Amino acid sequence: MNQQFDNDQVRRRYEELEELVARGVEPYPYSYDRTHTSEQILQTYRDDDPGLLSDVAVAGRIMAIRRMGKATFFHIQDATGSIQCYIKADELPAAYDMLRLLDIGDIVGTKGFVFRTRTGEITVHVRQLELLCKSLRPLPIVKQERDEQGNIILHDAFSDKEQRYRRRYLDLIVNPHVRQTFIARSRMIAAIRRFFDERGWLEVETPILQPIYGGATARPFVTHLNALDMPLYLRIADELYLKRLIVGGFEGVYEISKNFRNEGIDRMHNPEFTALEVYVAYRDYNWLMKLTEELLVTVASHVRGVPALLRVDGTEIPLERPFHRIRLLDAISQAVGEQVESLSRDELYVLCKRHEVDVAPFASYAKLVDELFTTLVQPSLVAPTFITDHPVEMSPLAKRHRDDPSVVERFELYVGGMEIANAFSELNDPRDQRQRFAEQARLRASGDDEAMVLDEDFLTALEIGMPPTAGLGIGIDRLAMLMTGAASIRDVIFFPLMRPEHSPRPVED
């Protein structure tokens, strides 16, 4: 064996492994038949009838060992929780001998009967002990203590964010709340699927590798397809493909999948993130606002038990229907204390300067509106609020408002100061859509590298004809943050993007 040891704890464990093998112990067996999880034992045990659990088999990772000479207590942790085990040397001399070579982190299976100790803890009295996996590296030890109120006090919790994100497996083993966060995320997505499935809408998959990226304004990741010697883009949105499916005759489709945007990384943004998009034929954005309310209330109730979301500071955000609704320009007017509805681009620029909103002198009308909103309004949108009817320049894929052609039928949902949904009555007039693409092309030519690219086939699809359609996108990661009170998007993504730990020096070319 030519093993490089990082430190003597690792070396010691390799030595133990060899000694176990020398004694005929298989350190990596193939399976283990459990009768109970730790949770099942704790829930089933009855002091007046301990015989109920006279022969259980549990398995898990050793998380604590207390050796007391000829008797030892240890805790094993499984997916449902943890349970204490008790083993006596005189009853099981061989197993007890093997136990001397086991460590915190090893995975074992044990059979025995359940009893309650003098100090009141439900415990498995070990009659048989098997090693199921030898752990060769030390675990970051988290000790926990219970105070008189029963609160759990953690000592020296594994808290270094870099290590937690890089070695999520360790984070999950030693930090129980992390497991809970990801279970909540998974339940949330399951609840969303159920909500749509119940309505008869079809879950679909559309291309992630796209020859033309579209459906949002963002810089893409570029890759290359060798077989056809052509560039491809990782999708920034799936919108244009889902609309093609509505053209094709499906009347309700949704997709939950990763998008990729080559932009900044911060606590709200990860280069790859999960988006939900749903499109429903014959509906408009008014109907979709009600649906969005219902979706959030249903999902939050399922995941959290109450129709409320959670802020980082632990305060709840009740989801009371109907959510606030305010037109985007009205929200800005309110914030600046004057009517902005009919202001020109140049007047808006002056307004920005007056309110110390930092904008470039050549910024477009849409950009100015966006800056004013982001700076002056968005932070205050804690309670769920629909911001509606954006200027048409900001929304190249949304249908013009039926009463005002300068704005579109669009809403964004803000909760806790975060944008979590974006939706519109979908633009299905191919003539208008072509004009909008032309405007995007003009922006692109003038240096806006996030402007949308013309997708001629998408226009062809619209010419074939798309029924009136409402479409909604939800940032799943951000919604998960609000379901769990997470402070950073990294806390709800198992493996957030990190720079390589030992980065090879990039070669300059």
Partner RNA sequence: GACCCCGUAGCUCAGUGGUAGAGCAUCUGACUUUUAAUCAGAGGGCCGCAGGUUCAAUCCCUGCCGGGGUCACCA
Of 483 and 486, which has the nearer Cβ to RNA? 486
Select from 18, 55, 266, 456 the one that contacts RNA (CB under 7 A): 266
User: Site map for RNA, 367-386, x if CB under 7 A?
Assistant: -------xx-----------
Of 71 and 191, which has the nearer Cβ to RNA? 71
The kind and range of the H/E element at 288 are helix 285-304
Of 167 and 187, which has the nearer Cβ to RNA? 167
Output the smallest distance, CB 227 to RNA, in A: 30
Is 335 an interacting residue with respect to RNA (CB under 7 A)? no
281-284: list long-range contacts, CB under 8 Å, 24+ apart. 281/246, 281/250, 281/251, 281/252, 281/467, 281/468, 281/469, 282/251, 282/467, 282/468, 282/469, 283/468, 283/469, 283/470, 284/409, 284/425, 284/468, 284/470
Q: How many residues bind RNA (CB under 7 A)?
A: 76
**Token couple for 284:** 């408009």
Of 157 and 459, which has the nearer Cβ to RNA? 157
Output the smallest distance, CB 144 to RNA, in A: 6
187-195, 223-231, 260-268, 334-342 -> range binding RNA (CB under 7 A): 260-268
Select from 2, 8, 31, 509 the one that contacts RNA (CB under 7 A): 8
d(CA 478, CA 378): 15
Of 200 and 506, which has the nearer Cβ to RNA? 506
Output the smallest distance, CB 474 to RNA, in A: 10
The kind and range of the H/E element at 310 are strand 308-310
Of residues 432, 453, 426, the one with CA closest to residue 442: 453
Q: What share of the chain is helix, strand, coil (3-state, %, to 5)?
A: 35, 25, 40
Contact call for residues 466 and 246 (beta carbons, < 8 A): yes
Sign, CA dihedral 242-423-349-376, equals negative
Of 144 and 180, which has the nearer Cβ to RNA? 144
Output the smallest distance, CB 422 to RNA, in A: 4
Select from 119, 149, 151, 226 the one that contacts RNA (CB under 7 A): 119
Output the smallest distance, CB 263 to RNA, in A: 4
Burial of 187 (0-12, 13-18, 19+ CB in 10 A): middle
**Token couple for 337:** 């204390």
Local structure of 297: helix, strand or coil: helix
Contact call for residues 468 and 287 (beta carbons, < 8 A): no
User: Site map for RNA, 84-113, x if CB under 7 A?
Assistant: x-x-xxx------------xx---------
Question: Please, which residues bridge with residue 475 across strands?
Answer: 275
Of 239 and 293, which has the nearer Cβ to RNA? 239
Q: Which of residues 149-168 bind RNA (CB under 7 A)?
A: 155-163, 165
Q: Tokens 């796209």 identify what position?
A: 210
Output the smallest distance, CB 30 to RNA, in A: 27
Contact call for residues 192 and 203 (beta carbons, < 8 A): no
Of 36 and 261, which has the nearer Cβ to RNA? 261
| One-letter amino acid of 326 | I
d(CA 290, CA 299): 14
User: Site map for RNA, 427-466, x if CB under 7 A?
Assistant: -----------------------x----------------
Q: Which of residues 122-151 bind RNA (CB under 7 A)?
A: 123, 138, 140-146
Of residues 453, 471, 358, the one with CA closest to residue 411: 471
Half-sphere exposure of 216 (CA within 13 A, CB side): 20
Output the smallest distance, CB 344 to RNA, in A: 21
**8-state DSSP, 139:** P
Of 155 and 402, which has the nearer Cβ to RNA? 155
Output the smallest distance, CB 200 to RNA, in A: 26
Q: Which of residues 63-82 bind RNA (CB under 7 A)?
A: 64-71, 73
Of 120 and 337, which has the nearer Cβ to RNA? 120
23-31, 83-91, 206-214, 330-338 -> range binding RNA (CB under 7 A): 83-91
The rounded Cα 186 to chain-centroid distance in angstroms is: 8
Q: Which of residues 274-333 bind RNA (CB under 7 A)?
A: none
Output the smallest distance, CB 59 to RNA, in A: 19
Q: Which of residues 391-430 bind RNA (CB under 7 A)?
A: 394-395, 410, 419, 422
Q: Tokens 């966006």 identify what position?
A: 370
Of 160 and 197, which has the nearer Cβ to RNA? 160
Of 66 and 194, which has the nearer Cβ to RNA? 66
Select from 403, 499, 508, 509 the one that contacts RNA (CB under 7 A): 499
240-248, 279-287, 300-308, 497-505 -> range binding RNA (CB under 7 A): 497-505
Output the smallest distance, CB 456 to RNA, in A: 21
Q: Which of residues 211-250 bind RNA (CB under 7 A)?
A: 216-218
The kind and range of the H/E element at 463 are helix 456-464
Q: How many CB atoms lie within 10 A of CB 104?
A: 15
Of 132 and 216, which has the nearer Cβ to RNA? 216
**8-state DSSP, 408:** B
